Structures are given as structure tokens and as C-alpha cells.
Structure 1
Amino acid sequence: MTNPTDTYSNVGQEQDLTPYQAVQVLLDGALDRISAAISAQQANNHAERGEAVDTTLTIIGLLQDSLDKEQGGELAENLDALYDYMTRRLAHVAVDKTPKTLEEVQELVVKIRDAWAEIDPAKEPAQL
């Protein structure tokens, strides 16, 4: 079985994706893993929740590492701070017995994904 972390670490390298498409795949993957973590939390499955959160942290780290702060300016700086915040919130999941923290991060990723989907890659640079 393929490790989800390895899958997301290689997005764009093994597939023929543009940087824009790779970000889309990563954002969708983060949402998938957060949903899995919420389901696992509701089922009281701590191991599965931990795996899903770990993969989400990896994806957020990849998104954060891909930011081009020189070219992206203030927007990239704001995304960097938001990714850092989400990472800190996800680290809190282990002590949170409710899905509240996961749902908060999920809402933030949905907002980023929806905004990213509005970008026309033909007109905008693919990297932030």
C-alpha cells in the first residue's frame, strides 16, 4: 500500500502537472485527509485520526514550502502565516476531543482552495 505522505510529497514530479494543478491536488488532498480525520475522530479511532492529521501536516508543509515570497509578496506572506496557524491548530488535535479544531482547519483550506480555483492560470503566475 502506498503511503499517502509519499504520494503527496511527489505531486507534480511523477504526474505531468503544472504548478497550478499541483497546488489544486494538494489542497484537495488536504481536504480529503481532514475529512478522514474528522470521521476517525467521530469513530474514536485515534490511530487513523493521527495518520490523517500527519498527512495533512505534510501537505500543508509542502504548500508552505512552495510559496515564493519574493514574487508573491504580501499574499505569499499571508498564506505563510495562515499555513503556520493551521499547522499549530493541527498539532492541538491530539488533545481536542471534539472535531472543532479539524473543522476550523477544514474551513480555512476550503477558503484557500476556492480562491485558488478562481485564478486563471493562463493570466496569473502559477507560483505564489
Structure 2
Amino acid sequence: MNALNQYQSVNRQTSIVDADAHKLIQLLLDGALERISMAKAQIQLKNIEGKNRLINKAVEIIGGLREFLDKEKGGELAERLDALYEYMEYRLFQANLRNDLEALDEVARLLKEVKGGWDGIREEVLEQALV
């Protein structure tokens, strides 16, 4: 098991080093979704410390996503994403406080919607990078 964890760590680090800004956002979205899924399992196992750590990490990741927003260039879309990310952080705090699986599911659904849109523009981003 330890070898698997080491491999995953190296794989993540390599992905981050090789990532462009668009790919980095994809990795952050994946990371937040993974932490939320793991937090749900910790709630079911009644592991409060593990749940706290994972939800707090998801909140940190979403905070990082908020920091990436360029409100000057992104205009209204960036403002709406900022508000959505703020709402997600709020719901994660509630989920942590109340061991609320529904709140975690809601945030995961919202993140998946954002990720779907972000993944959908990947080709366009790559084409613009070549220009």
C-alpha cells in the first residue's frame, strides 16, 4: 500500500509540474471532488478528524480556485464563479459542522458542473496557446 501511495504522489507532482494553467484548474477541481468523496467516507466511518481534514482541504482548494479568477478579464462570469465558489465554501463549512452528506453531495454536483464546462473548453484553450 505504501508503494501505491508513493506512486500516486509522484504522479500528482509530475502532473502539476507539467501542467499549464488550464490543466492546473482541472487538477484542482479533481482534487476537491476527491477530498469531498473521501470526507463522505470518513463521516460514514465516524472519523471526525479525517472528515475535518478532508473538508478543510476541499475548502482550501476552492479558495485557490477563487484566487485564480481574473475578475478584470473574466467580467460577469468570473464574478458569478466567485459567488458560486463562496457558496460552496459555506456549504462545506455547514457539512463539516453537521456531518451533512447532502451538503457534500450538493457541492460535488456543483463542482462537477464547473468541471464539465472547464473540460469542455480544453481544446479551445490548447488551440489558442498555439496561435
Number of positions where the alignment pairs a residue of Structure 1 with one of Structure 2:
115
SS in 1 for 2:17: coil
Corresponding position: 1:121 with 2:119 = no
Aligned mate of 1:101, from 93, 100, 103: 103
Shift of 1:39: 0.7
Structure with more helix by fraction: 2
Tell me the equivalent position of 1:63: 65
Overall identity of the aligned pairs, in %? 37
Change (3 A) 1:113 1:124: farther
TM-score, normalised relative to structure 2: 0.81
Deviation sequence 1:41-82 (CA, Å, 0-9, x none): 111111111110011011001000000001111110000000
The whole-number CA distance in structure 2 between the counterparts of 1:68 and 1:99 is 32
Give the conservation status (yes or no) of the 8 Å contact 1:42–1:99: no
Superposed CA RMSD in Å reads 2.0
Q: Give the CA deviation at 1:28.
A: 0.4
Q: Is the 8 A contact 2:55 2:96 kept in 1?
A: no
Contiguous gaps of at least 5 residues in structure 1: 1-6
Q: Which runs of 4+ in 1 moved over 6 A?
A: none
Aligned to 2:52: 50
**Which aligned pairs between 1:1-128 and structure 2 lie closer than 5 A?**
15-119=17-121, 120-123=124-127
Q: Structure 2: 5+ residue runs without aligned partners?
A: 1-8
Q: 1:3 maps to which residue?
A: none
Q: Which has the larger radius of gyration?
A: 2
The TM-score with structure 1 as length reference comes to 0.82
CA apart distance, 1:38: 0.7
**Cα distance in 1 between the residues matched to 2:71 and 2:55:** 26
Instruction: Tell me which amino acid in the other structure corresponds to 2:100.
Output: T
| Closer, same or farther: CA 91–98 of 1 in aligned 2, 3 Å | closer
Pair 1:37–1:72, CA change in 2 (3 A): same
